[in-house]
Structure 1
Amino acid sequence: MTATDRLVARTTGGLLGGRTDGATTVWRGIRYAAPPSGAMRWRAPAPGAPWQGIADAGAFGPAAPQNPNPAVPLGPDIHVSEDCLFLNVRTPSNVGPGDGLPVMVWVHGGAYTFGSASQPLFDGRSLVEAGEVVLVTINYRLGGLGFAELGGFATAEDRVDGNLALRDVLLALEWVQENARAFGGDPERVTVFGESAGGGLVTTLLATPSAEGLFARAIAQSSPVSSVYELDRAREVGARLLRELGAADLAAARARSAQEVVDAAARVYAAVPAEEPGVIPFAPAVDGELVPEHPIAVLREGRGLRVPLLIGTNRDEATLFKYMKSPLMPITEPTITAMFRAMAAERPDAELPSRAQVLDAYEGVRHRALGLGIARDIGFRMPTVWAAEGHARIAPVHLYRFDRTTPMLELLGIGATHASELPYLWGELDGGRKDPTFLLGGRRRGREVSRRMQERWTAFAHGRSPDAAGAPDWSRYDAEGRATLVIDAEDRIVPDLDGELRRGWGDEVLAFR
């Protein structure tokens, strides 16, 4: 096989012409679903149509409709469109069909409202070169177009589907199963991985029966595991979206432009957490069908899909939300108090921890940092620990906490905040002129942290223990040792890292936040 031959991939839809940079080959803008617009808005995705000839796969497809966000650059020359269900594949250039490399499928984050597979951070060349993997990055529908639950407005003549973004991811994973071999991948060795909202979709997939067989391993980074709606609440948000659109029914809502839906969803996105601290407006929903039960309950009870899981969070998750003045996380005393009251009102039968019991877990924490700690732990850390403990009863689990930061991020009071692990994982430590991360040093150490993370993540995808050269072996997490990897300038293994938090928060699953 010549280098030119490797640029053409034969998929179930037709031939695709890619590009090579020498070390890797990449195919961009591959359609995996028909346009979800017009009558297909708020409907389950349908497979894309086949084509004749060699389709050019040299450019990214459009990003999902969203308002511009300086914190989430979509990439140069990227526009948004409802016709957004595209994916991208990158492989080592010396790989051909049937070579059987593990496949890693990336689900981006962005609070279920922002982001795209085209983000420069997710270029993937470094990860593919370091790990000898086939990398797939996917788009899915966002915000009011991807997470609105509008079943209450459906009629026999005008139907809708729910959990649309999750359905998009499932269809993309089906595409991977059908086409992995064309790119040198092994469909039986697929790892789905994601961060933040992407991590939330990954943990939801673990509680989605129809996802069985679509992936063999899972990685969830900073997953808001428990931020999944009950259907009634999700439909309340959907009704609110239609009111903001000024639409009395689905036909009127479909007549609105995608930008009008995005703008209406933005107003809902701002209002809901201001009224209900700790509640994110758009997220997966427990619909009783695709997602039969709440994912955190399923995982805590050891009833998820029996696949190995690598899961963890960052040490200072909540500082980014404070820095950005985001309403999504309750940080102040009034909002935390309101959240505890809402928890008690919504779960009157549950033995929830008292405020005093929770505060015992933060002995020695400065008062001004207390809210950040509580927000971090109820939003990310404790649901992650509960999920790890339950899932470890049925499959191998590796738990981590990312502590690595730089002098500049410490000076800014940000530390190892939400998403700060991403540049290390993707090997993209040069964030551009406006990135302050390494202004006071730390880049050399950062490259070593990046090397180890890439080794660990890709070793896991290969089916090996997620260990790295020159670093401690990463033991499986279980109820006896609770071994946790702390990722820092030098990695270390800590037994029961979260012991005080577990005792403070207790074992009750907060399955409604």
Structure 2
Amino acid sequence: MVQAASPALTHPVVETDAGPVRGTDDGTVSSWKGVRFAAPPTGDLRWRAPVPPQRWTEVADATRFGPVCAQPHSPIPMGPGARTSEDCLFLNVWAPSGAREGTPLPVMVWVHGGAFIFGAGSQPLYDGAALAADDVVVVTVNYRLGALGFLELATLDERSFDTNLGIRDVVRALEWVRDNIAAFGGDPERVTLFGESAGASITTTLLTAPAAAGLFHRAIVQSSPATSAYDAERGRRVAEVVLDKLGVDAAQARSVPVDVLVEAGAHAFEHIPTATPGILAFAPIVDGDLVPDHPVPAARGGGSHPVPLILGTNRDEAALFRWLKSPPMLPIAPKTIRSMFERIAVEQPELALPTEADILAAYHGVRPRARGLHVARDVGFRMPTVWFAEGHSRVAPTYLYRFDWTTPMLRLLRLGAAHATELPYVWGNLSLGPRDVTFKLGGLKPGEEVSRRMRARWTNFAKGLEPTGPGGQPWRPYTDTGRATLRIGRDDAVVDDLDAEIRAAWGSEVIGFR
């Protein structure tokens, strides 16, 4: 039997406000990779807010990814041929073939995770073809990382440096989407911002940032450490650690080679959470400008943008950090957990912290050696998510979930539904090559069904519909009375007040460092 030949590739050219770009169309999905959305953040623009790129006239090649942002050796697979550079402000677009000729499609803009120091929009996991096939336009973005994106030198010299640079990069990418996405078949009036981990933290931060108002119309937040946003004074202390490691002052730092800066950032990334459990070296800073307030208290005070929101966490978030071990991004051992709470109590004496008896009562059915994982999960991810949902649900429809699905292999590895394990299901990219062991002991067929349901819910939401599954499976909004939560497992179930016991233990005050 003669197989039909696959359609020949074509190379569609799109005109952006900076110049034309040439992508690839395989007959199902069109893609444009490595599209520059800001000028190179180098030289005098190092540690400055991003600016639009200079215009070009020749057609730029957009058939391969641009460099990933400078970072230490990453535990995250970056794909073959990936290269790092300080000049890294590129984005990638996927759209259904023919989208440019039809009715404008909703847009989903992805902000990757990686503890604010790792990752890229071009990771193989974030290939947007499967999502785009569900009639959305997908955009993935790079943003500056580590010492280049979240080193707060403005706390030492506010005239020469800008704050929250990685977050400003995402704002600039959203402005690019607003101004250009129609040429790719997208609807600039239907933009959903979504992200995971550090990318979800950036999303919750932008949900309360005045500069982001109107740049996105819906949001999806996956496993956000939403309370990991610190005062400027803490940012200043981290900047001093990095400058001390470099042996330079802030003014001299612009001439430091990029690889030396990356190494100094990696030192801070390891040192800060080791010395002060529960604190990240790099995170959003409350600067009174882009970030006027801590995101969770701002949302609870009615200060978040009134856009529909999906948010949630994974059942076993902290298991990944036990497995990684270094750096200790989450305090898991009883000693480090106690140290974290003691430091919070000293810094915020007005805060009513839960007692150890309260915590033990919440986890009465948990083995003593595993309690640290539950405490770390809830103080780092689950409770900040619930607190944010409580506030945001008063200004816009809000949908809370918990991802419980796992595979036999991940159970064997004691990971379960750990941090980031939902990502392949959201993206529809369940197989990432021979080194991926997720389905080695089975679970692929039910996993494909989990992915089908999640993609349907996420894309239906982006289209302005209710986040129902492919068979119309419902999902009620979260409210202070019903507290409906979608539990995602082999089958989906909407459960009222899934977090009742841990909410009672942790209380209603927002707990976190300032």
Q: TM-score with structure 2 length normalisation? A: 0.96
Q: 1:505 to 1:202 in 2, by over 3 A?
A: same
RMSD in angstroms over aligned alpha carbons? 1.4
State the partner residue of 1:65: 70
Q: In 1, Cα distance between the equivalents of 2:266 and 2:178?
A: 35
Identify the residue that residue 54 of structure 1 maps to in structure 2: 59
Q: Secondary structure at the match of 1:352?
A: coil
2:215: which partner in 1? Answer: 214
Q: 1:467 to 1:153 in 2, by over 3 A?
A: same
Kindly report which structure 2 residues correspond to 1:248-267, keeping only aligned pairs within 5 A, or say none.
248-250=249-251, 252-267=252-267
Instruction: Give the corresponding residue for 1:343.
Output: 344
Q: Which residue of 1 aligns with 2:190?
A: 189
Shift of 1:470: 3.3
Is there any run of 5+ residues in structure 2 with no aligned partner, and where? 1-7
Equivalence for 1:39: 44
Secondary structure at the counterpart of residue 69 of structure 2: coil
Specify whether residues 356 and 248 from structure 1 end up closer, same or farther in structure 2 by C-alpha distance, changes over 3 A only. same
Note if 1:125 corresponds to 2:129: yes
Contact 1:112 1:142 in 2 (8 A): yes
Matched, 1:322 2:322: yes
Deviation at 1:5, TM superposition (A): 8.9
Report deviation, 1:479. 0.9
Q: Which amino acid aligns with 1:491?
A: D
Deviation at residue 98 of structure 1 after TM alignment: 6.5
Check whether the contact 2:43–2:254 (CA below 8 A) recurs between aligned residues: yes
Q: Deviations over 1:101-121 (max 9, x none)?
A: 000000000000000011000
- The 5 Å alignment of 1:466-505 reads 466-470=467-471, 472-505=473-506
Q: Which amino acid aligns with 1:414?
A: L
- The CA distance in 1 between the partners of 2:448 and 2:158, in whole Å, is 56
Which stretch of the first structure deviates more once superposed, 465-474 or 43-52?
465-474
| Contact in 2 for aligned 1:294/1:511 (Cα 8 Å) | no
1:295-310 pair list within 5 angstroms:
295-310=295-310
**Mapped pair 1:103 → 2:107:** yes
State the Cα distance separating 1:257 from its structure 2 match: 0.8
CA contact (8 A) 2:66 2:90 kept: yes
Whole-Å separation in 1 of the counterparts to 2:331 and 2:510: 18
SS in 1 for 2:445: helix
In structure 1, what is the Cα distance between the partners aligned to 2:316 and 2:9? 47
| Cα distance in 2 between the residues matched to 1:305 and 1:97 | 32
Could you tell me which of 28, 33, 38 is aligned with 1:28? 33
Q: Deviations over 1:422-463 (max 9, x none)?
A: 011111111222222111100010000000000000000001
Distance 1:318 1:52, change over 3 A: same
SS of match in other structure, 1:132: coil
Following the alignment from structure 1 to structure 2, what is the Cα–Cα distance between the partners of residues 100 and 226?
36
Could you tell me how far 1:482 is from its partner in structure 2? 0.6
Q: CA deviation at 1:346?
A: 1.1
Q: CA deviation at 1:471?
A: 6.1
Q: CA deviation at 1:249?
A: 3.1
Aligned residue in 2 for 1:392: 393
Partners of 1:486 and 1:39 in 2: how far apart? 49
Hey, what's the Cα distance between the residues in 1 that align with 2:102 and 2:29?
Answer: 17
Matched to 1:132, the amino acid is D
State whether structure 2 residue 139 is matched by structure 1 residue 144.
no
Of 67, 90, 93, 1:89 maps to 93
Q: Which moved more, 1:252-261 or 1:427-436?
A: 427-436
Q: Measure, in 2, the Cα distance between the counterparts of 1:501 and 1:312.
A: 15
For residue 36 of structure 1, report the CA deviation from its aligned partner. Answer: 0.4
- The within-5 A match list for 1:233-252 is 233-250=234-251, 252=252
> Per the alignment, in what secondary structure is the counterpart of residue 375 of structure 1?
helix
Deviations 1:341-376 (A, max 9, x none): 011111101222222112211111111110000000
Q: Give 1:12's aligned residue.
A: 17
Tell me which residue corresponds to 2:3.
none
8 Å Cα contact 1:101-1:184 kept in structure 2: yes
Q: Which amino acid aligns with 2:17?
A: T
Residue 155 of structure 1: how far off its partner (Å): 7.1
Q: Distance in 1 between matches of 2:76 and 2:379?
A: 25
How far is 1:53 from its partner? 2.8
Q: Does structure 1 retain, via aligned residues, the 8 Å contact 2:425–2:451?
A: yes
Q: Specify the SS of the correspondent of 1:484.
A: strand
Alignment correspondent of 2:456: 455
Give distance in 1, aligned partners of 2:470 and 2:289: 44
Q: Does 1:112 align with 2:116?
A: yes
Distance 1:89 1:333, change over 3 A: same
1:498 deviation in Å?
Answer: 0.4
- The aligned counterpart of 1:415 is 416
Judging changes above 3 Å, is the alpha-carbon distance between structure 1 residues 51 and 163 closer, same or farther for their aligned structure 2 residues?
A: same
- Tell me by how many angstroms 1:97 deviates: 5.4
Q: Which amino acid aligns with 1:426?
A: W
Matched residue type, 1:81: S
Q: Secondary structure at the match of 1:96?
A: helix
Q: Which runs of 5+ in 1 are unaligned?
A: none
Does the 8 Å contact 1:97/1:183 carry over to 2? no
Cross-structure match for 1:401: 402
Q: Could you tell me how far apart the structure 2 residues matched to 1:178 and 1:20 are?
A: 22
Whole-Å separation in 2 of the counterparts to 1:479 and 1:454: 27
Aligned to 2:370: 369
Is 1:179 the counterpart of 2:180? The answer is: yes
Q: How many residue pairs were aligned?
A: 506
Matched, 1:135 2:134: no
Secondary structure of the residue that 1:193 maps to in structure 2?
A: strand
- Matched position secondary structure for 2:491: coil
* Alpha-carbon separation, structure 2, partners of 1:494 and 1:227: 28
- Assess, with a 3 A threshold, how the Cα gap between structure 1 residues 461 and 155 changes in structure 2: closer, same or farther: closer
Is the 2:23–2:32 contact (alpha carbons within 8 Å) kept by the matching residues of 1? yes
> Cα offset for 1:512?
2.1
